[in-house]
Amino acid sequence: MAMAGERGGALSLDRVVSGAVTSEVLSLVRVREGDDGVARLLELAGERRSVAELEDLTDWSSYEQGRCLLEAAGEVLGGSHHLREVAQHWVRAGAAGDVAAVLQSLGSPEALLEAMPEVVSKFSTVTPMETVEVREGGGVVAAWPIEGAPRYREVCDYTAGALGIVPLIFGLGPAEVREVACVLDGSDRCVFDVRWAAHTSSEAAAEALRGELAAVNARFDSFRRTVASLVAGGDLDELLRRIVDQASGAVRAPAHLLAIRMGSGAPLVHSVGLTSGEAELLADDVLTGDPDDGAGSRLVVDVTSDGRRHGRLVALFPPGSRFLEADRSLLADYADLAAAAIAQAAALESTRRDALTATALLDLACTLAETTDGVEVAEALVEAVTEVIDCDRVAVYLFDRETALLQPVSFRGFPAEHEAFLRKVTISADDTPLFEQMLTMPEPLCFTADVDDPWVGAMMQATGLEAVVVNPLVSAERFYGVSAAGVVERPERLEPTPELLARFRALADQSATALRNVELVAHIQHQALHDGLTGLPNRALYEDRVELALQRARRTGHEVAVLFVDLDDFKKVNDTYGHRGGDEVLCLVGERLRGCLRASDTVARLGGDEFVVLVADSPNGAGMAAEAVAAKVLDALRMPFAVDGGEVVVSGSIGIATSIGGDQDRAALLHAADDAMYAAKAAGNGRWAVAGS
């Protein structure tokens, strides 16, 4: 297979149709025609693969396989025009998974339509596209054939249906798509006119939410399972194979490669979609120097830990394809998992001759595999230290990156009064120079009662300790905290022998890896629940919070208010400053909206230039508070934004809807606020209106 970036290689057609397409087609046929229809489809297509293989999202088909499947589906369904419904069924059934999440990260239907030349590669790498025009509520897209992959009626209908889901991804109704020119009628390109209504229907919003929540849960659960298997230990080669398999499901591409160099031996190489020979050649390329990115069709991220690059994780498309930035972020998360697996293996290897420590590490690994937050990791570490180290007291402090402080978390063996004292003590760089030493030189530090450092000496005296060993928790050059073991008598028990220090390091390395993985899972969860452009909560997180607020209101009889904020004539900003300038304004708007709210309120970006604010639990009534917020927001928006050396002035229209005692569901509440926003806009820009008034 000639992959992207190979010099002089011709485009191969043996892995060009994504498993997303074959899975979508089978799903619609099964719903419409049952299992008998699926069996007939496979027979007509001459398909020898199993249904499970065709539904595997990481499995790609050849051009001929994809064409036979689409043509057979058209016959089974009663006409090729039914293929326009395939993609809509895919989204509405909640099967779009992390593909939908990546598309939603683009922010709006217009942005998705503009990115269609890149997006199409997630479904087919032999369907080149050009976005001819983007306008508010639609645009024009063109597709054309390439050598060896001519267009045919079924692929035109499927393409029209796929373009129809552009607004559906963002909670709008499906687009109306007309093919105004077609290669099959003699044109040199197939041209599709795409139009959608700007108004959000409750039903479409609910469908989009279901799909988005499914994507959140699928990605989060997949990543968490991989982390659990990693922390639980096991063969490094098997862990790396599992990681590249998971990465291929998250970042859709015809081929993936993970190449790791461990010592002077042959590298560990795992791939999806490549032959063993192709994988070895590509591994040699990416492990030496700076690999070619194939003009954007080869995505390469480093696998690094402890200041060293161990290898690279790569996703590949044929020449001419390009990746989205969201793909890079996702692939980097899996590269971090690979780095964590390497660090884990190194920690276990360092203690293979120490039976006591090895047993304790195995028990610790089993415990850490079930942990979901840093506190649980700290508790497990305290337990492991007491089993491996001959000591009287153990403490774990974790590093808070926002405050740059070490915060007390877990203790064992301290008298109640000493533990109460320590739980009030945070540690900063101003307290002791040893703080910076732990950040820059992550080695165990050993202290006795005559320590020179006044702060450490005072802490030891206050807690009655004769000797202490403090071990930094560091993974991939990131500092996560410290563990400390102390004795109140016979300080020689903590004599810093090589064996003692090796035990400390092994426990710290494994715990730091677990803390790093907790952070990675939190990062994945944050990505899934926040807008990729502004960092604000996205629709899924907003819906979750408004549902909780409505549940509380049903118990308390309080009010819940929603403000639908739409920027006026925002298209002029994009036309004047381009989409990059428009994106900058949207980020600045998000910051100003945050500044207008209380800590208990929520502002989210729904997509494009639409934002929503949730106001609840106000002692004076959420409706009154919402009107005050609306006035504050409009005043804030009137202040110019500094963009690209100039000033941009925008205004907004706001609709307010209030639910008393949770008497409306979340979709109805948002719909009412949306209607009120249109009423405000009709009365003139820069106003707010209340639903029902």
- What positions carry a catalytic annotation? 609
CA separation for the pair 336, 395 (Å, rounded)? 28
Closest CA to 405 of 384, 426, 385, 431: 426
427-466 residues labelled b (16+ CB within 10 A) or e (exposed): beeebbebbeebeeebebbbbeeebeeeebeebbeebbbb
- Contacts for 454-458 with beta carbons within 8 Å, 24 or more apart? 455/431, 456/432
Q: Return d(Cα 220, Cα 525) in angstroms, integer.
A: 6
**b/e string for 264-286 if b means 16 or more Cβ within 10 A?**
eeebbbbbbbbeeebbbebbebb
Rounded CA-CA distance 247/44 in Å is 33
> What is the four-CA torsion angle of 160, 166, 168, 170, rounded to 10 degrees?
180
Strands 478-487 and 652-660: unpaired
State the Cα–Cα distance between residues 455 and 427, nearest whole angstrom: 10
Helices (H), 131-201: 153-164
* Cβ-contact 83, 154 below 8 angstroms: yes
Q: Whose structure tokens read 């497990």?
A: 380
Burial, 692: exposed, middle or buried (Cβ in 10 Å; 0-12, 13-18, 19+)? exposed
Side chain identity at 371, as an amino acid letter?
T
CA separation for the pair 438, 420 (Å, rounded): 25
| Rounded CA separation 276/106 (Å) | 36
Query: What gap in Å lies between CA 529 and CA 215, rounded to an integer?
Result: 10
Cα separations (Å) of 684 from 572, 651, 653, 673, 689? 17, 10, 8, 17, 11
What the block records as the tokens of 311 is 């290898």
Q: Which helix (H) or strand (E) holds 483?
A: strand 478-487
Cβ contacts of residue 548 below 8 Å, gap of 6+? none
| H or E element in which residue 675 lies | helix 666-682
Report the DSSP beta bridge partners of residue 647: 642
Name the DSSP class of 337.
H
Picking from 100, 101, 57, 93, the residue whose alpha carbon sits closest to that of residue 524 is 101
Decide if 673 contacts 612 (C-beta within 8 A): yes
Helix-helix angle 355-368:498-529, to 10 degrees: 10
